[in-house]
Amino acid sequence: MNADYWIDHLNMEEHPEGGYFKQSFKSRETIERESHPGPRNLYTSIYFLLRSENISHFHQLLSDELWYFHAGSSLTVHIIDPAGTYRQEKLGLEMEKGEKPQVLVEKGSIFGSSVDEENTFSLVGCMVSPGFDFADFKLYNQAELLKDFPQHEKVIKRLAYDQLP
């Protein structure tokens, strides 16, 4: 099964950060939090697909996001945490290569992802709690990130938009 199979069968659409997505679950239960304007679903979950020729551009959420590997090649999640430390997490099933079937991106982290193997894709699931809302989503351009994190120039130039779309 190739990327087009999953995109078609899961009825996925393009995501503003890059790649494709489809919301798969949304809790009926809501919560109120000071850090979020208005009520939020307790959790939301999506399918997310990224082809090797694309990237998921650096962005930030106000909620924790837990990633689950489903199919294809491993996915590298690039994370700049709130303290400014950069790390990579490999999402996949080959634990002997340092991959993990689940990866947590803590709220407030700036992150993006890439498929490092050529001519392939990665299909993952992402669960956000409190639930995802575009009001909590921020895309970054290179200038914004280089101002605060010049030590991470190489990955910022690779994963951040030069100019926001």
When pLDDT is averaged across residues 63-77 and rounded to a whole number, the result is: 97
Q: Which of 34-38, 107-111, 134-138 has the least mean pLDDT?
A: 34-38
Closest Cα to residue 163, out of 145, 142, 147? Answer: 142
pTM for the model stands at 0.94
Confidence grade of residue 33 (pLDDT, cut at 50, 70, 90) = confident
Contact 66, 102 (CB under 8 A): yes
Per the prediction, the chain carries an average pLDDT of: 95
Q: What is the pLDDT of residues 111-150, one digit of tens each?
A: 999 999 999 999 999 999 999 988 889 999 999 999 999 9
Higher pLDDT, 76 or 37: 76
